[in-house]
Amino acid sequence: MSLKRAGTDPEPSQKRLKLDEPEHGDGSDQDLSSSDDEELSASFEPNLSRLGGLKSRSELSAPAPQKITSFAALGISAPLQTALAAMSIRVPTEVQAACIPPLLQGRDCVGNAKTGSGKTIAFALPILQKLSVDPYGIFALILTPTRELAFQIAEQLAVVGGPLSARTAVIVGGMDMMDQALELGKRPHIVVATPGRMVDHLKSSNGEWDLSRVKFLVLDEADRLLNPTFAPDLAVIFGALPKDRQTCLFTATLTPSIDALVEAAPRPGKERPFIHRMAHAVETVETLQQLYLLVPSHVREMYLFHLLCNPPEATIHLRRAPPEPAKPKGKKQQKSVDDQDMPEQPPPTIIFCGRARTAAYLTNMLKTLSIRSTALHSRLTQRERLNSLALFRSFVVPVLICTDVAARGLDIEDVALVVNWDLPDEPEEYTHRVGRTARAGRGGVAISFVTERDEERVLKIEARIRETPHFVEPFADGLQDTQLQELVLPESRVLEKMNAVGTAKRLANMELHDSKFGEREAINRSKRRPS
């Protein structure tokens, strides 16, 4: 594997796409996204004639647009420009400059761009501008694979669409169905939803509202939505939508299912959609420093604690002095280990784990070690998820420990460090995870823990992030250049806190056991098994 060592110093270095009849499940709570590309492609192959309208890849190479330095040049109205300026957004990104004009012209669009490149604004502005001309509800439907992304998109629409008084409803699982039904009955201008919950409301609406007048359909994180998991729900939703809508697909990752759509011949009488591909095949941005840390699995906790107390030099300037969080009433406060030796809080950091139980365990452990942490995973209620995000966004808590439920699309300001505690099975998920940092031209660092079981995963990730993939013997000498570099931490310093970390590990496991974490879900799974 062509992994490059960063240094051996004793200190850390550092109109129209017709998607009306595809082949229930929301899928928004899946912690791991391990789709098989061949199965994915085969699942959608029979429907290409109905899904299509996209140019072949050879036809899609549009000439590179000249540099556009203002949203006015794209045809965006003055009120929306003012709203963007209030967000300090004055110059469009590549995907915005490419996709906004054809969307304003009424064309369908497939937008492929790196994480953190402003894809949400690229479809939000055309929707809001057209809505201002003919305001009614429901005007636009935006589908996302995760609940958290739905709330984030709604927040951005509320800010950008403020001057237009655009009303947005978020329809996701984990929230009260009756409240959502009442909100849909008021016919909001824009609905942002996860597919499963949207289908639940379509089946129970009793004609109080419908999607028959929707003009815009957006599939954000389209690579995930076009996974067979969502196909039954999408079939129901597409069947409720009018055929003359505009359809937009946005994604940072081009999968076989999207490529198949691109290759499909257009339906007779349909204009070919506009396709924007990112300029370079590499899906991670140049301002992202990608490192890996070789560590035995049984001592990862010690290395994680040392890393958070001694973050990479490139991230130290983002350290903040967080305010003291409010202490919950009526609960016994857990005593921290080494209270007299409080560590300095790390810069804003997201730690990705493969399982909800691991995220809960690490959160408990780091809290015991006086590192302010909060968890985000599928075992939490929606209210708890939103609270965790609010604490992290406001810098009250500098460490967010989560599963891949947070890997998609979340745009959190000034995330300095992403840590892969568990490497994902699919390299596409690595791209989305590390894309939570180094956004909008900022710098960032991603560090992946590589254990004795992770060699194959690293090989796939390395091949994904290089423009010209090639494989070499894992961990061989004569390492070749790549974007992954080895991070070497001083073992003697790491082991200084061995006793404290060991105690915190035991307390964290005891907390999980006492709270019966995951017991209810295990019982429900056993009930669903055939006898």
Q: Which of 227, 244, 272 is the last residue of a domain?
A: 272
State whether 311 and 238 are in the same domain: no
Same domain, 317 and 180: no
Proportion of the chain above pLDDT 70, given as a percent: 75
Query: Both 190 and 310 in a single domain?
Result: no
Reply yes or no on whether the pLDDT at 513 is more than 80: yes
Which has the higher per-residue pLDDT, 527 or 101?
101
226 with 350, same domain?
Answer: no
148 inside domain? yes
- The pLDDT tens digits for 108-126 are 999 998 777 889 999 999 9
Task: Classify the C-alpha dihedral 400-401-402-407 as positive or negative.
Answer: positive
The tens digit of pLDDT for each residue in 463-508 reads: 877 643 333 333 333 333 446 889 999 999 999 999 999 999 999 9
- Average pLDDT over the chain, rounded to whole? 80
Claim to verify: residue 135 and residue 48 sit in the same structural domain: yes
Sign of CA dihedral 336, 362, 452, 10: negative
Residues 6+ apart with CB under 8 A from 280: 467
Are the beta carbons of 257 and 219 closer than 8 angstroms? Answer: no
Q: Which domain holds residue 55?
A: 37-272
**414 and 444 assigned to the same domain:** yes
- pLDDT tens column, 45-82: 333 233 333 333 333 434 444 678 899 999 999 999 99
> Looking at residue 318, which CATH number applies to its domain?
3.40.50.300
Q: 268 and 378: one domain?
A: no
- For residue 27, is it within any domain? no
28 is a domain residue: no
More reliable by pLDDT, 74 or 526: 74
- Is there a single domain that holds both residue 347 and residue 451? yes
Nearest residue to 462 (alpha-carbon basis) of 269, 284, 316, 333: 284
Tell me, yes or no, whether 292 lies in a domain. Answer: yes
- Render pLDDT for 379-434 as a digit per residue (tens, 0 to 9): 888 889 889 989 998 989 999 999 987 667 677 778 999 999 999 988 888 888 88
- Within-domain flag for 32: no
pLDDT for 87-100, tens place per residue? 888 999 999 999 99
Residue 283 predicted with pLDDT over 90: no
- Contact (CB, 8 A) for 14 and 312: yes
**Any domain includes 527:** no
pTM over 0.75: no
Residue 25 belongs to a domain: no
318 and 213 in a common domain? no
Query: Nearest to residue 258, comparing CAs of 44, 87, 412, 503?
Result: 44
Domain shared by 370 and 254, yes or no: no
Nearest to 76 by CA among 16, 161, 153, 141: 161
pLDDT: which is higher, 322 or 392: 392
How many structural domains comprise the chain? 2
Please check whether residues 231 and 372 belong to one and the same domain. no
197 and 218 part of one domain:
yes
In a domain, 21, yes or no: no
